Copies of this chain bind each other. A is one copy, B any other.
Amino acid sequence: MSALKIAVIPGDGIGTEVMPEGIRVLEAAGKKHGVDFEWSFFDWSCEHYAKHGAMMPDDGIEQLRAFDAIYLGAVGFPGVADHVSLWGLLIPIRREFDQYINLRPVRLFEGIPCPLVGRKPGDIDFMVVRENVEGEYSAIGGIQYEGTEEEVVIQQSVFTRRGVDRVLRYAYELAQSRPEKHLSSATKSNGIIHSMPYWDSRVAAVGVKYPEVKVDQYHIDILTANFVRMPDHFDVVVGSNLFGDILSDLGPACTGTIAIAPSANINPERTGPSMFEPVHGSAPDIAGKGIANPIGMIWSGAMMLDHLGRSDVHDSIMKSIEQVLKEGSCLTPDMQGSATTEELGKAIAEAI
- A89 to chain B minimum Cβ distance, whole angstroms, is 12
Binding site for B on A (CB under 8 A): 76, 81-83, 86-87, 91, 113-117, 136-143, 148-162, 188-198, 220-222, 224-226, 228-229, 241-242, 245-246, 248-250, 252-254, 258
20 of the cross-chain contacts (CB-CB < 8 Å) are A76-B190, A82-B189, A87-B193, A115-B117, A137-B193, A139-B193, A140-B194, A141-B194, A150-B162, A151-B161, A152-B159, A153-B194, A153-B195, A154-B157, A155-B196, A188-B242, A220-B242, A225-B258, A228-B228, A229-B253
B-side contacts of A86, CB under 8 Å: 190-191
A158 touches B154 (CB 8 A): yes
Knowing A83-B190, A249-B221, A250-B228, the reply to whether A149 touches B162 (Cβ < 8 A) is yes
Cα–Cα, bound, A86→B192 (Å): 11
B-side contacts of A76, CB under 8 Å: 190
Cα–Cα, bound, A113→B229 (Å): 12
Sample of 16 more A-B contacts, CB < 8 Å, known A150-B160, A155-B159: A82-B190, A83-B189, A86-B191, A137-B192, A140-B194, A142-B194, A151-B198, A152-B160, A153-B194, A153-B198, A155-B194, A191-B245, A220-B242, A225-B258, A228-B228, A229-B253
Cα–Cα, bound, A151→B192 (Å): 18
- A193 to chain B minimum Cβ distance, whole angstroms, is 5
B-side contacts of A220, CB under 8 Å: 242, 245-246
B194 touches A154 (CB 8 A): yes
Cα–Cα, bound, A194→B86 (Å): 14
- A319 to chain B minimum Cβ distance, whole angstroms, is 27
A249 touches B229 (CB 8 A): no
Top 8 A-B pairs, shortest CB-CB distance: A141-B194, A225-B253, A82-B190, A155-B195, A151-B161, A221-B249, A224-B250, A155-B194
Cα–Cα, bound, A189→B116 (Å): 29
Residue of B nearest to A225 (CB): B253
Residue of B nearest to A76 (CB): B190
B-side contacts of A116, CB under 8 Å: 115-117, 228
A228 touches B246 (CB 8 A): no
A246 touches B221 (CB 8 A): yes
B-side contacts of A138, CB under 8 Å: 192
Residue of B nearest to A222 (CB): B249
- A189 to chain B minimum Cβ distance, whole angstroms, is 6
Residue of B nearest to A197 (CB): B83
A160 touches B151 (CB 8 A): yes
Residue of B nearest to A228 (CB): B253
Cα–Cα, bound, A157→B23 (Å): 42
Among B140, B143, B192, B229, which residue has its beta carbon within 8 angstroms of that of A136? Answer: B192
Residue of B nearest to A157 (CB): B155
Residue of B nearest to A118 (CB): B115
- A145 to chain B minimum Cβ distance, whole angstroms, is 8
Knowing A115-B228, A194-B154, A222-B249, the reply to whether A149 touches B136 (Cβ < 8 A) is no
- A325 to chain B minimum Cβ distance, whole angstroms, is 18
